[in-house]
Amino acid sequence: MAPVAIDSRWSYVPVALVASHGATVVYLTSIVALGLYRSHKALGPAQDTRQRVVQRKKLTAAFGSLAALGFLLSAGSTLSYLTLSYNVWATERGAENLDSFFALSPRYINGTEHTSTLTRWLNDTPIYLDAFEIVAEKARRLWWGQQLDLATVSWTMLLAIEGRRRQIPFLWAYALLSQLVGLSFAQNLLHVAMLLTPAPIAMHDSRIGRVIDTIFPPKPANWMPKPFVFITSLILNYGTTLSLPYVSGTAWFPTAIWLTKALSFAPLVLPTIIPLSWGKSRTDHHEPYASISQLFQLASAASAILHARTSISSVLSNLPDAYKHRHSIRIPFDTEKRTAWERSATALERILGAMSDHPVVAAAGKDVLLSGLSIGLWAAVRAMDVTDILKSAIPGYKAADDCTYEASSEYGIGGTASASKSPTPAPAHEGTMTLRRRDRASSSKYSSVRGSLGPEEDGTPTPTPRRRGRPRKVKLEPEPGQDLEEDPADATYDPSPEETLGDVGDVLPDDDFDWESAALAWGLTALGGLGMGSSSVYGGECISR
């Protein structure tokens, strides 16, 4: 092959773009770490009990380690891809190949002065577009990459709903990290943030925040967009995701890619920029649960349909050269052995083996597997009710039995009681009350007694637990002819809707992890893809309080 002639015109813009990518990742990670520190410092006294401190340290270390693993896997795959892309470019131009991307240093090609190999390579190679197109152009590679796109949609919905409710700092940084690094990295960082932010915290004022508030007036704390806002963004997002394999290799592909990435931020951005009339103020935190379930049901159903379509296309794709791509010239495949394996392997083996086709496919596959592991562990840690998971995964699903609420206050007073969908929240002066629903009768150590036998049937009166705190004040009856003035300080406190919503806290279950919920999450992921698994778990998270 004759060397390709070198164009004398070049620009530093691609170099600046790649450098800004790395610098942006470092900056976003640092401000996310700052936000986690603020959340940790804002934890109230009720979260500082010995058991909760130990459990929180253990879980933050676990999800933090998963985030670090996701970052390392993404960084390793990125360096492998950059090295391969450069070597393909160097082979076409008769330049020296490199064993590692770190060995690349400014040098001259064919005696051309003031030109570095790095600048030339990035000017000639659209590395971002190449990566997306290599994944999208073959069905079995798209099988991995599409799952990440679908899961990112439901995960961003969690950011928009639960992240805004808890007022987690720098939500936009998590969304950007999911695109610049990987979903598993940003996902596990958000899990750590949710563990450290069980209740809404005071927002820190910043210059960016003041500018945004000047342009878009802030909404009330109990305000939420109407369902049609999120539904519209979901439909547009899934439509562009569906179009990617059809426009791959055409002039429309760059537009479709950037539109897909932009629409993934829509659920997080829309609540800030839309008019106040496009939303509704709620007086009870259970009020939007029906619409939230419908949103995640839509996301789950659409993800399952798109995943099934890609799976069928991957199974039917039996072309002998399906593993080849534009960088195959530098991948040391034994063509004869690879072709024989392609003809003899089953469809499932070829789909799973697509991770070895190219570093960007391997990066997508590792991200999918690590994200799937993370959502299952999150369901187990949160001890999610399987009813909530199914309610967010299956359109039209309704629980057969009434739910039982397990209540636990900040002071450690627990118990069970049958309740309706909208239990009355506790007043602010009684402590934050956490309500978590369960199906099983064993959700409390007293459930077998209270659920099956009453005090009269058992023959043993139920002991009344002694409550901590100050004794209840006894109201004195005035004697004849005596007037008792009521102390204004003793008047009944009636919290406002904003205060009531802000008091909805969140504590981790004190018992063991619920591996039944984890098994259900992993089963839905294996059945309908990572998008369906994420929609079911994160939808259940949003309606589990």
pLDDT on residue 406:
38
3-state secondary structure of 524: helix
Cα 517 from Cα 391, distance rounded (Å): 13
Q: Say what the pLDDT of residue 167 is.
A: 86
Bridge partners for 418 per DSSP: 404
Q: What pTM was estimated for this model as a whole?
A: 0.76
Confidence tier at 457 by pLDDT (50, 70, 90): very low
Show the tokens assigned to 543: 């309606």
Q: Cα(231)–Cα(267) distance, rounded to whole angstroms?
A: 9
DSSP string, 418-435: E--SSPPPPPGGG--EEE
44-58, 151-165, 345-359, 407-421: lowest mean pLDDT where?
Answer: 407-421
Question: Sorting pLDDT into bands at 50, 70 and 90, what band is 480?
Answer: low
469 vs 256, which has greater pLDDT? Answer: 256
Which is nearest to 153 in space by CA: 231, 98, 100?
Answer: 231
504 has a pLDDT exceeding 80: no
Centre a 10 Å sphere on the Cβ of residue 211 and count the other Cβ atoms it contains.
10
**How confident is the model at residue 446, as a pLDDT?**
33
pLDDT above 90: percentage of residues in the chain: 30
d(CA 507, CA 435): 9
d(CA 529, CA 427): 42
pLDDT in tens, 325-381: 666 655 655 555 555 545 556 667 777 877 877 889 999 999 999 999 999 999 999
- Per-residue pLDDT of 70-128, as tens digits, reads 999 999 999 989 888 888 888 877 777 776 666 655 554 444 544 577 888 888 888 99
Task: Supply the pLDDT for residue 203.
Answer: 64
**Is the pLDDT higher at 463 or at 185?**
185
The average pLDDT across 435-458 equals 38
Q: Is 502's pLDDT higher than 80?
A: no
pLDDT value, residue 316: 81
**517, pLDDT greater than 80:** yes
Residue 173 CA to residue 193 CA, distance in Å, equals: 12
Degrees to nearest 5, angle at CA 424 with 423 and 427: 145
Nearest to 86 by CA among 182, 14, 181: 14
Q: Note the maximum CA span of the chain.
A: 114
Is 165 a residue whose pLDDT tops 70? Answer: yes
Domain ranges in the chain are: 13-392+516-542
Among the ranges 17-21, 63-67, 510-514, which has the highest mean pLDDT value?
63-67
Only one residue has tokens 């992921």, namely: 525
- pLDDT score at 338: 57
- Residue 450 pLDDT class (50, 70, 90 cuts): very low
Give me the half-sphere count of Cα atoms (radius 13 Å) on the Cβ side of residue 530. 27
Query: Residue 150: what pLDDT?
Result: 94
Residue 121, pLDDT score: 86
User: Has residue 443 got a pLDDT over 50?
Assistant: no
Task: Describe the chain by its helix, strand, coil percentages, rounded to 5.
Answer: 60, 5, 35
> Of 508, 523, 292, whose CA–CA distance to 386 is shortest?
523
Q: Which of 160, 171, 28, 175 is nearest to 538 (CA)?
A: 160
What pLDDT score does 222 carry? 76
End-to-end CA distance of the chain: 65
If pLDDT is split at 50, 70 and 90, which confidence band does 403 have?
very low
Among 335-339, 430-434, 515-519, where is mean pLDDT lowest? 430-434
- The secondary element (H helix, E strand) that includes residue 457 is helix 455-458
pLDDT beyond 60 at 41:
yes
Q: Which pLDDT value is given to residue 302?
A: 94
> Any idea which of 201-215, 307-321, 482-496 has the lowest mean pLDDT?
482-496
pLDDT score for 296: 93
pLDDT of 492 over the 60 cut: no
**What pLDDT score does 442 carry?**
39
Closest of 178, 165, 150 to residue 524, by C-alpha: 150
CA distances from 331 to 7, 90, 101, 318 (A): 27, 14, 15, 21
The vertex-106 CA angle with 100 and 112, nearest 5°, equals 125
Beta sheet of 433-438, edge-to-edge order = 414-418, 404-409, 433-438
Q: What is the pLDDT of residue 432?
A: 38
- C-alpha–C-alpha distance, residues 302 and 423, integer Å: 32
Burial of 6 by CB count in 10 Å (0-12 exposed, 13-18 middle, 19+ buried)? middle
In the chain, the percentage of residues whose pLDDT exceeds 70 is 66
CA distance 348 to 167: 43
